[in-house]
Amino acid sequence: MVVPNAWNFGSWLTAKQMMNTRFRVLHLNDTIRTVIQLYQECKLNTLPVVDDSENLIGVFPKKRLYKALLNGAGLDSPCKPYIVHNPIHITSDLNYDEMSLVVRVTKSQVDYVVVVDHTGKVVGMIGAAEYLRESLNLIMTSSALLESLFRANYEGIIILDRDGYILRINPAVEKMFDLTLSSVKGLHLKEVLPEISISDKRRLGLKQTVRSVPVIINQAPILEKDVQTGTSITVLDITDVEKIAQELEMNKELQTTLSGVLSASSDGVFVSDTHGTIKYVNEAAAKLVGETTEKITGKPLQTFLQTKGLDHVAETGTAEVDQCSIKGRNCIVSHIPIKKEKGGKSESTGFVSTVYLDDNTLTEEIARKWFSLSQQVQYYRNELARQNERESFEHLVSYNMEFNKIKRDAQRIARSSSTVLLTGESGVGKDVFARAIHGASPRAKYPFVKINCAAIPETLLESELFGYAPGSFTGASKKGKPGYFEQADKGTIFMDEIGDTPLSIQVKILQVLQEKEFIRVGGTGNQKVDVRIIAATNRDLREAIAKGRFREDLFYRLNVIEFNLPSLRERPDDILLLAEAFIKKYNRILGAKVLGMNQRAQNALRKYSWPGNIRELENAIERAANYVWEGEIDVDDLPQQIITAEQQEPLSPFAYSSALSDAKKEIISEALRQSNGNRSAAARLLKMSRSAFYDKLKKYGLDKSIV
């Protein structure tokens, strides 16, 4: 089917719209009497003839009836001898095409053309009357369109006859020169607008002043069979254009002034649009991130400023202050929305992000106060979220024997106050496990205070952990402030990412463990505290000790009881169990009605390696719940990395085990080569005891090899 051309009304019109559907069909065995009866009934000069399957085989025009009667045929004689076979016909979806349709009508041996559908069945008849009627409608529609364009055109239009007398003017000319069509129609152009001269040639872009209005004039002759029958003149008022040009010049001057002001600022300024794409930066900002303005412009703001404040500004439309670190420098960032009034309402069109560097005392004081307030807000948010929900070991669901053994052991030791060290990869659930220990302990009714040691700048960590005395530094509260250890008195303090704690802070933590007391920053007296410490890390603390990054004495104080939580890869049977638990959780949070997962989604979750462990699984289910909302989760609702893994061939466990064994064997062989075959030296190189090294040699068949 031909797609209609929006400006060609003929392409909109089809044979189906034009045809006459009041017809009757003849069959081969019908008589002349039947033909006459159908002519009277349908008021048509031609009737279609069909076979037993109702398919077109011919037509019976009225002139064939006359021929039959002249030949002496009776009313009951068959009509078959007078049928015109293989008549010209068209399909019902054929577009209006004057040439093709006229050719078909004039070349036909009958007065009407038969219209059939795609199966060959007769659906209508088209004759001269139908064709002329729809042609007139088409002309009227086209005329209405041209009249609409004529009246709606922003440019003024003047139509003259061949002698220069005015035939038409559009509303734009009436408004431009304070005229009316009724007052100027029939007058010569020189009498109305003498500034405009008439030419028999095409003229474009003539700039003139007509009736004190600056305009641009275009003229073109109206030709009919190469003979000029009139003139068309268009007039464009450029008063508004000149105003726009002046406004653009003012904007350029304003932009130059603004650029000068921003360039003079010592703070970094980033201007971004509503999508967070940088549109402008000043010299201080470019110097801060170490890039040229050309390389910065057009990139996302998050590329240079790791801040979540912009998202909050976009959602609320209110200014936000955040902290970030750029190339090791602590900075305060303020995000202010750029607003404009539209329809009586204010909407954001972009953001101005100003970076204040920590090169002065005032900025450092602002950073300290902001961080303290944000930590307090986060603390109360966490407390509010958990006030009616106490974590317990019952919430830690698992089919894994190793994990369930760890749970039972943790439940037993929860009764004591001994220090616990939780190790394992990031995302394995150390936070939830620590809360379960606290919930099963005698301290459950007292505070559980969590602190992420890696998230707090080193300059603030000591005062956050141990508090500070009144007036201990510029900007300090006059009443002082208790630290996290005091807030957790009689309860449990969970120190996450303990491996990232600076050595200077490790000494004071050791003091708390040994003596149950500490001194506030700027204070003089000892503060007593009764607190149980649960520490967690995803780092190898023994390696950190070897590199001098972690105190050995603190490690042994923390490592009274150690639980190494297995990764999700080591708990494959728990993947679907945990996924179902997260589906229930986010159904409650989102108000969704996710019923579960189909088989494809389950297979994808099983195949994926889960580098982010339980945290990544929870994020994947939360994402899927947002997409699905109701029904079952399909594999296409999961994150792309899981879909990609599902499409790959699974790696055989035997192949994995073999590859791992080969890698270990190669490492030992390389150590022997580097030590020239000296086994003791190779063991020292790998930081293994000699007995363990000899066991490995025997296991991999290297004990008799000469390297």
pLDDT tens digits, residue range 564-576?
999 999 999 999 9
Q: What is the pLDDT of residue 167?
A: 92
Maximum mean pLDDT: which of 88-97, 123-132, 608-617:
608-617
Higher-confidence residue of 514 and 666: namely 514
Q: What is the pLDDT of residue 369?
A: 56
**Domain presence at residue 381:** no
Compute and round to an integer the Cα radius of gyration of the chain: 44
Instruction: Please list the alpha-helical segments (H only) found in 121-231.
Output: 128-152, 171-177, 181-184, 189-192
Average pLDDT rounded to a whole number, residues 574-596: 87
Who contacts 340 (Cβ-Cβ below 8 Å, separation ≥6)?
Answer: 346, 347, 349
Average pLDDT rounded to a whole number, residues 299-309: 79
**Domain presence at residue 1:** no
Rounded Cα distance, 487 and 706, in Å: 63
Q: What is the pLDDT of residue 430?
A: 92
Confidence label for 626 from pLDDT (cuts 50, 70 and 90): confident
Q: What is the pLDDT of residue 4?
A: 43
Find residue 17's DSSP bridge partners.
none
Residue 385 pLDDT > 70, yes or no?
no
Are residues 516 and 529 in contact, defined by beta-carbon separation less than 8 angstroms?
Answer: yes
Q: Nearest-5° angle of CA 485, CA 489, CA 494?
A: 55
**Domain presence at residue 326:** yes
**Domain presence at residue 205:** yes
Residue 321 pLDDT > 80, yes or no?
no
CATH number at residue 57: 3.10.580.10
Cα 434 off chain centre by: 37
In 3D, which of 419, 620, 622 has the Cα closest to residue 516?
A: 419
* 337 in the same domain as 262: yes
Q: What is the pLDDT of residue 463?
A: 85
Sign of CA dihedral 468, 471, 475, 481: positive
Average pLDDT rounded to a whole number, residues 589-600: 85
Rounded Cα distance, 620 and 605, in Å: 10
Residue 707 pLDDT > 50, yes or no?
no
| Mean pLDDT for the chain overall | 82
Q: Nearest-5° angle of CA 351, CA 353, CA 359?
A: 170
CA-CA-CA-CA torsion for 596, 567, 433, 518, nearest 10 degrees? -150
Last residue of one domain, picked from the residues 237, 257, 287: 237
Residue 5 pLDDT > 50, yes or no?
no
Q: Which two tokens stand for residue 662?
A: 């080969």
CATH number at residue 611: 1.10.8.60
Q: Nearest-5° angle of CA 603, CA 609, CA 614?
A: 95
Find residue 158's DSSP bridge partners.
169, 233
Q: Is 294 exposed, middle or buried (0-12, 13-18, 19+ CB in 10 A)?
A: exposed
Find residue 372's DSSP bridge partners.
none
pLDDT in tens, 442-493: 998 999 999 998 888 877 888 888 888 887 766 666 778 888 888 999 999 9
Residue 532 pLDDT > 80, yes or no?
yes
Type and span of the H or E element at 421? strand 420-423
Q: Which two tokens stand for residue 4?
A: 């209609």
Range of the domain at 101: 9-136
Are residues 168 and 180 in contact, defined by beta-carbon separation less than 8 angstroms?
Answer: no
Average pLDDT rounded to a whole number, residues 633-643: 88
Range with lowest mean pLDDT among 204-213, 303-312, 411-420, 512-521: 303-312
Residue 338 pLDDT > 90, yes or no?
no
pLDDT in tens, 55-93: 999 999 988 888 998 998 899 999 999 999 888 888 888
Rounded Cα distance, 193 and 211, in Å: 8
pLDDT over 70, % of the chain: 84
The CB density around residue 349, as the number of other CB atoms within 10 Å, is 11
Residue 630 pLDDT > 90, yes or no?
no
Which pairs count as long-range contacts for 625-631, CB under 8 Å and 24+ apart, including other chains? 625/583, 625/586, 625/587, 625/590, 625/592, 625/594, 626/590, 626/592, 628/592, 628/594, 629/590, 629/592, 629/593, 629/594, 630/592, 630/593, 630/594, 630/595, 631/593, 631/594, 631/595
Last residue of one domain, picked from the residues 341, 359, 377: 359
Crossing angle for the helix pair 640-647 and 599-607, nearest 10 degrees? 90
pLDDT in tens, 149-196: 888 888 899 999 989 999 999 998 998 899 999 999 999 999 999 999
Rounded Cα distance, 635 and 637, in Å: 5
* 433 in the same domain as 510: yes
Residue 672 has phi, psi (to 5 degrees) of -65, -40
In 3D, which of 567, 465, 580, 446 has the Cα closest to residue 513?
A: 465
**Domain presence at residue 79:** yes
**Domain presence at residue 2:** no
Residue-by-residue DSSP string for 112-142: SEEEE-TTSBEEEEE-HHHHHHHHHHHHHHH
* 427 in the same domain as 332: no
* 498 in the same domain as 396: yes
Crossing angle for the helix pair 690-699 and 653-674, nearest 10 degrees? 120
Tracing tokens 């302990």 back to the chain, one arrives at: 441
Rounded Cα distance, 10 and 319, in Å: 58
* 517 in the same domain as 479: yes
In 3D, which of 189, 1, 7, 171 has the Cα closest to residue 95?
A: 1
Maximal C-alpha separation, the chain: 138
Range with lowest mean pLDDT among 515-519, 552-556, 661-665: 661-665
**Domain presence at residue 162:** yes
Are residues 23 and 31 in contact, defined by beta-carbon separation less than 8 angstroms?
Answer: no
Rounded Cα distance, 156 and 139, in Å: 25
Residue 409 pLDDT > 90, yes or no?
yes
The CB density around residue 534, as the number of other CB atoms within 10 Å, is 28
Counting the structural domains of the chain, the total is 6
Find residue 60's DSSP bridge partners.
47
Residue 27 has phi, psi (to 5 degrees) of -120, 165
Confidence label for 406 from pLDDT (cuts 50, 70 and 90): very high
**Domain presence at residue 30:** yes
Distances (CA, A) of 23 to 26, 89, 127, 158: 10, 15, 12, 50
Who contacts 307 (Cβ-Cβ below 8 Å, separation ≥6)?
Answer: 322, 323, 324, 333, 335, 353
* 496 in the same domain as 541: yes
Confidence label for 306 from pLDDT (cuts 50, 70 and 90): confident
368 Rama class: left (phi>0) / alpha (psi -120 to 50) / beta: alpha
* 430 in the same domain as 557: yes
* 530 in the same domain as 421: yes
Model-level pTM?
0.43
Q: Nearest-5° angle of CA 13, CA 17, CA 21?
A: 160
One-letter amino acid at 18 equals: M
* 581 in the same domain as 547: no
Residue 6 pLDDT > 50, yes or no?
no
Instruction: Please list the alpha-helical segments (H only) found in 467-502.
Output: 484-487
CATH number at residue 172: 3.30.450.20
Confidence label for 221 from pLDDT (cuts 50, 70 and 90): very high
Rounded Cα distance, 543 and 550, in Å: 9
Residue 577 pLDDT > 70, yes or no?
yes
CATH number at residue 432: 3.40.50.300
Q: What is the pLDDT of residue 187?
A: 93
Type and span of the H or E element at 90? strand 89-91
* 487 in the same domain as 397: yes
Q: What is the pLDDT of residue 352?
A: 87
* 21 in the same domain as 98: yes
Last residue of one domain, picked from the residues 237, 258, 289: 237
Average pLDDT rounded to a whole number, residues 650-671: 66
Are residues 512 and 531 in contact, defined by beta-carbon separation less than 8 angstroms?
Answer: yes
Residue 100 pLDDT > 60, yes or no?
no
* 218 in the same domain as 108: no
Rounded Cα distance, 272 and 81, in Å: 85
pLDDT in tens, 348-374: 788 888 887 655 555 555 655 565 556
β-pairing verdict for 561-564 and 448-452 = unpaired
Q: Which two tokens stand for residue 698?
A: 């025997």
Higher-confidence residue of 30 and 334: namely 30
